[in-house]
Amino acid sequence: MLKNVRIFFAALFFCSITLVFLDFTGTVHAWLGWTAKLQFLPALFAANFAVVALLALATLLFGRIYCSVVCPLGVLQDIVSKIAGRRKRNRFSYKRPKTYLRIAFFALFAVCSALGLLSAVSLIAPYGAYGRIASNIFAPIWALGNNALSFIAERFDSYAFYPTEVWTRGIGAFLVAAATFAVVGFLAWRGGRTYCNTVCPVGTLLGFLAKYSLFKPVVDVSKCNSCGLCARNCKGQCINSKEHKIDYSRCVSCFDCIGNCRRGAISYSCRKGGADSGKSSAAKPAIKPAAKPDSVGADSPVSVRASKNSSDFSKIENPAVSAKGRRGFFSSLLVFAGVAAAEAEEKINDGGLAPIKSRRKPERATRITPPGARSAANLAEKCVACQLCVSACPTRAIVPSAKLSDFMQPEMSYEHGYCLPECTKCSQVCPAGAILPITPAEKSSIQIGRAVWRKARCVINADGLQCDNCFRQCPTGAISMVVQDPKNPKSLKVPVVDEARCIGCGACENLCPARPVAAICVEGYSVHNII
């Protein structure tokens, strides 16, 4: 019963927070955004002490239910471990705790966080790690599936789905996400919750509190026959069945041991003992051999095998029908792939006439941090690099940084779009306080950077053509056009930037026709200015 309840709520939290990262419509976060703010590290960095206290109190009462229910990376490990368990059952065994390794990882994380070097250790933060996996691996697959459904629906004159652009957050972000997924998945496949009980700083901290939790799995020695079935199904590898002890610092309260114990020797109850052992105070009786059944019953291996074999006949499909269905499915996929390739080729060419060079990111002396971050220092101190703001940005103006100094943390880049003055989604979704909530009125007065005109790159000088794109598209009127040669009123006009009015939104840079690098680029401010 307890296991089923835990699985239900774990699935609910996991699906909810995953949808927050996958959503491209901008509607899911209004309903499910609270699941991100319920994560331990974001709440701690955001100084949301109410959530931190709630999670700590829940751990002191019920053990590490945060790790088994709320944490998406923990639930992801359970999914991988469950798949691995289908190939080999009863595959775990008791392992001694790697105490020194746990303390080393926790100390490294704590020191780097205190020194404002969170980007150096954000790779091991559980929420941030899952956010990168969801944003860079799951989100493109989700978009591809949506586009496939949209293509199929259009064939039936249905517009229940609409296509969206499939994009990755950069090759660096994808490689980091793939490496994280591979490492966490491998550890979960081989050892269940090895990552949680060795590397994860949240697991180490909550594990210390869980040692003193009120409710715990308790071993009844009078019923236990030391069969070790509980230990072989413990994903935390924390049950010493020979000594009837449980390491509560590694127990994630998954209740698998209770569900697999055939003698009812383990129960989840209030325990009034010390924190180091799950051993019952009752004396252990002599172990009696189990009586052999006189006859083969309904639950015997023979009958189970027979029932499985008999049920297999009902699953046999008509080969002709299944082959037809497969041909239709693959034909639809091929048609969809052909149409997608044609559309991609069409985007590369301007009406099929002139090839368009891809835009390249300019070299900036100071990176641009999102509005609401206040400063690069505040972002570096609190950002866990979950990339939720990257996923929420409707114009793709926020991308993860590839520099080691702020690795995987968000920054503004205007190759694909610019920061809309009326948009504040990044400040609304950030759970860690790295990007503080702001209103559109407040955003219009925040200077995150200034536009700088590069004379040599401008088409006015390079091609001798008049262009006023930056002037026409600037939302604040910070750019004006003046004649290049004051002595010749008929000379071409060039842009002049009023830094007092420029907010660094990047509209000028994004819409500049110069390729591969824009002629007018935005330089960031380390500390945002308020005008």
Q: Which candidate, 494, 506, 510, 503, places its Cα nearest to that of 476?
A: 503
**Domain range list for the chain:** 2-208, 376-530
CATH 3.90.1150.10 corresponds to the domain 376-530: no
Positions of the chain with pLDDT under 50: 277, 279-323
> HSE on the CB side for 353, CA within 13 Å?
2
**Side chain identity at residue 24, one-letter code:** F
Q: Identify the bridge partners of residue 524 per DSSP, sorted by sequence position.
A: 449
Predicted confidence at residue 356, as pLDDT, reads: 65
Predicted confidence at residue 136, as pLDDT, reads: 95
Spatial distance between the Cα atoms of 215 and 203, rounded to a whole number of angstroms: 18
Predicted confidence at residue 328, as pLDDT, reads: 54
Q: Which candidate, 366, 369, 479, places its Cα nearest to that of 430?
A: 369
Q: Identify the bridge partners of residue 270 per DSSP, sorted by sequence position.
A: 215
Query: In the 3-class helix/strand/coil scheme, how is 46-111 assigned residue by residue?
Result: CCCHHHHHHHHHHHHHHCCHHHHHHCHHHHHHHHHHHHHHCCCCCCCCCCCCCHHHHHHHHHHHHH
DSSP 516: S
Predicted confidence at residue 300, as pLDDT, reads: 43
* 3-class secondary-structure state, position 528: strand
**Side chain identity at residue 43, one-letter code:** A
Q: Identify the bridge partners of residue 398 per DSSP, sorted by sequence position.
A: 412
Predicted confidence at residue 280, as pLDDT, reads: 46
Query: In the 3-class helix/strand/coil scheme, how is 219-266 assigned residue by residue?
Result: ECCCCCCCCCHHHHCCCCCCEECCCCEECCCCCCCCCHHHHHCCCCCE
* Contact call for residues 490 and 463 (beta carbons, < 8 A): no
Please provide the DSSP assignment of 366-396 as one string. Answer: SPPPPTT--BHHHHHHH-----HHHHH-TTS
DSSP 412: E
